[in-house]
Structure 1
Amino acid sequence: MSGKQKVAAVRCAGYDQELIGKQLNLLMTAIGADTLIQPGMNVLIKPNLLSAKAPEEFTTTHPEVLRALIRYVHNRGGIVTLADSPAGRFTLDSIRRVYQKTGLRALAQEEQCSLNENLTSVESGLNVLSEPVPILECVAQADLIIDCCKFKSHSYTVTSGAVKNMFGVIPGLVKAQMHARLAKRESFCRFLCQLCANVKPGLCLMDAIEGMQGNGPSGGERYDGQRLLAAKDPFALDYGALKLFGVEPDWTPVHREAVKLGLVNPAEIELIALEETWESLCRSDFRLPETMKGLIQLIPSPLAALRRHFAPYPKPDPSRCLGCGECVRDCPVQAMTLTEHKAVVDRRRCIRCYCCQEVCPVHVVQIKR
């Protein structure tokens, strides 16, 4: 019997309820997850709810994937709560707006599960620069955390998957503070790995039926992935997804830091394709963000300051900017300001975290060189 971390993947051509349910059951059996959930267990499902986007905008975990997962848990006697802290402010009004727009409000009513509206946070046990890192209280109290992520490109971390999804257990604008405290990309991605290892999701499911490519995680283009993936381990799942979609894992800073921390070992991962071979299931057409293009990635790390100076920077399009101020409120280093009701970036202060692009409700923040 193999002692390797299993990552299973299967084709799934769309968000048909019956099809997703069938494929999800196959995945769970393949990775040995069928005995994880016991009757009466409090199960917290952590979707990717980046912002108030409709399911058709391929930014957030699709409600039909969550529906299949909720039913899987309910069938084993588990009690389900859906919880996340989206980008930007974390208030009752903001989280309720996200639940409504993403389709989770209706889903929770139909499937008789709870939506977390508890804004209380507790200490995680992690510290950044001697400051304690808070996480949502409901996360700390769960018997089992299921990481239900979305496969997307990401202008800062290259891709977003199971490990990055756990960043959402940190409440509200504290996430922006993490960016400010950890201004170097390697340090921030190392923290993401440490946070994920601390939270310890025990089961992971990736919605790659419709993903996002290009300048994600909110301003990219639709990627017709047609895949579902599952694993017990988030680091293994991300590695499997990268291999499946033709992205070299060592290109991604989260994977590199996970390897350094000993949280993932590719030699100990078993990639399983259901109903066909792994090779036939693989894709090679996924488009990375603009921040990965050109010679900038070849500048060695000792010249990090020079690399950051020449790195692509965010620039709002003044002709389309609404002047809503979301980017200003979410910028971790106050590099964004409103001038004559238009967002403007100070390139000298900008740390290229691209949070402004992430939270812009109308996608006017472009990547420029």
Structure 2
Amino acid sequence: MKAKEKVAAVRCASYDENQVERQLSRLMEAIDAAALIKPGMKVLIKPNLLSAKNPEEFTTTHPEVLRALVRYVQRHGAQVMLADSPAGRFTLDSLRLVYQKTGLKALAEQENCQLNESLDNVESELKMGSEAVPILKCVADADLIIDCCKFKSHSYTLTSGAVKNMFGVIPGLVKAEMHARFPKRAHFCRFLCQLAAMVKPQLCIMDAIEGMQGNGPSGGDRYDGQRLLAARDPFVLDYGALKLFGLDPNQMPIHHAACVLGLVDPQNLELCALEESWEALSRHDFRLPETVKGLIQLIPSPVEALRHVFAPYPKPDLKRCVGCGECLRDCPVHAITLVNQKAVIDRRRCIRCYCCQEVCPIHVVQLKR
């Protein structure tokens, strides 16, 4: 009989350095992470660094979780690099700003690990038609990839975890091109699953000590999750997180796509709480984005045209918009223009991917019906 794949979870009340390191070490032992890390390995840790946000904005993987993870890997004799391609422009200056604001620059200096500053990419094994999907070269060069994600809501995919975090191995605005290539949510989520399966992170950690609920992944509200999770597979970890926070995995489009592709088998998973029962550790108060509410959920998924009509549309608050142009640059279908230094969205062209809401640095993009 095939051994069950384990998702381990534990309480962690704060980002206190000693508490995080102690609880993360317990998770690593529970999933036998040490068996994966060999001396001299080049280990790449992929955090969620969506944009230049400070850790207190609960948008990015917290540096204390990354610190504990870096130390664990280094204790096993491996070399560590932290790498991501945040949303929006992908330049050395923008990347360094993200590292500084998210606390990773200070972390790398304190823990003697490397930050990727190369913008180089290579063709991956994943093809879309006749074209290979590019990924960061440092990802392709790594001996072991660790997926260290943040538990968040997401206006397009409803939740964001380990599978969605792998989208950041695609460089810069190529991510917007992928949105344009897959304008339907189901097709985009299928692509995310194929990408994660190709990258194959072998160790996955979820920072759910503080998460984001509501209209995430950048404009939502703080969620006091007080949990850390770990697994050896991103699809397994995401399933465990959905169950832990009281969400129905079958209603989540990424998990649904993973099941259709045969990438996860819920019947072959073990949910393991380290200090108590899984039921006692579970929560049932997580709030999904507004895009999950209302008529959109009553429409059968094959009727895609009607689903699009009833889906909330993004609308910048023109009184607060500063005309920075970040949404314009990141829109995959070029539905945004600047009029009198204010962002204006053409609703007829908009594909409801909500990238504009995601990258807006001052959160002025609202969802309307």
TM range (shorter): over 0.9
Is 1:93 paired with 2:127?
no
* Cross-structure match for 1:191: 191
Deviations 1:129-183 (A, max 9, x none): 3322000000000000000000000000000000000000000000000000111
CA contact (8 A) 1:129 1:181 kept: no
Q: Does 1:64 align with 2:71?
A: no
**How do residues 56-135 of structure 1 correspond to structure 2 at under 5 angstroms?**
56-135=56-135
1:297 shift after superposition: 1.3
SS in 1 for 2:179: helix
The residue aligned with 2:244 is: 244
1:302 aligns with: 302
Instruction: Please give the alpha-carbon distance, in whole angstroms, between the structure 2 residues aligned to 1:36 and 1:139.
Output: 17
Q: Give a deviation string over 1:208-230, Cα, whole Å, max 9, x none.
A: 00000000000000000000000
List gaps (5 residues or longer) in structure 2.
none
Supply the distance in 2 between the matched residues of 1:43 and 1:132 (Cα, whole angstroms). 24
Q: Which residue of 2 aligns with 1:260?
A: 260
Matches of residues 279-298 of structure 1 in structure 2 within 5 Å?
Answer: 279-298=279-298
Tell me the amino acid that sits aligned with residue 254 of structure 2: V
Kindly state the Cα deviation for residue 362 of structure 1 after the two structures are TM-superposed: 0.2
Give the distance between the partners of 1:175 and 1:250, measured in 2 at CA: 26
- What does residue 136 of structure 1 align with? 136
| C-alpha separation in 1, matches of 2:98 and 2:304 | 37
Q: Which residue of 1 aligns with 2:223?
A: 223
Q: Which residue of 2 aligns with 1:334?
A: 334
Q: What amino acid maps onto 1:210 in structure 2?
A: E
Q: Which residue of 2 aligns with 1:32?
A: 32
Partner deviation per Cα, 1:100-156 (whole Å, 9 max, x = no partner): 000000000000000000110000111223322000000000000000000000000
Distance of 1:99 and 1:142 partners within structure 2: 20
Q: CA deviation at 1:2?
A: 7.1
CA drift of 1:302 comes to 2.6
Over aligned residue pairs, what C-alpha RMSD do you find?
0.8
Amino acid at match of 2:172: G
1:12-51 alignment to 2 at 5 Å?
12-51=12-51
CA distance in 1, matches of 2:46, 2:303: 38
The equivalent of 2:8 in structure 1 is 8
Structure 1 regions of 5+ residues with no counterpart?
none
User: C-alpha separation between the residues in 2 aligned to 1:340 and 1:241?
Assistant: 44
Match of 1:311 in 2: 311
Q: Deviations over 1:305-355 (max 9, x none)?
A: 111011101010011101000000000001111111111111100000000
1:8 is displaced (CA, Å) by 0.2
Q: Tell me if the contact between 2:295 and 2:310 (Cα under 8 Å) persists in the aligned partners.
A: no
- Give the share of equivalent positions with the same residue, in percent: 75
- TM-score under structure 2 length normalisation: 0.99
SS at match of 1:216: coil
| Cα displacement (A) at 1:6 | 0.4
**Number of matched residues?**
369
Q: Which amino acid aligns with 1:304?
A: E
| 1:179 corresponds to | 179
For the residues of structure 2 that align with 1:78 and 1:227, how far apart are their CA atoms?
Answer: 27
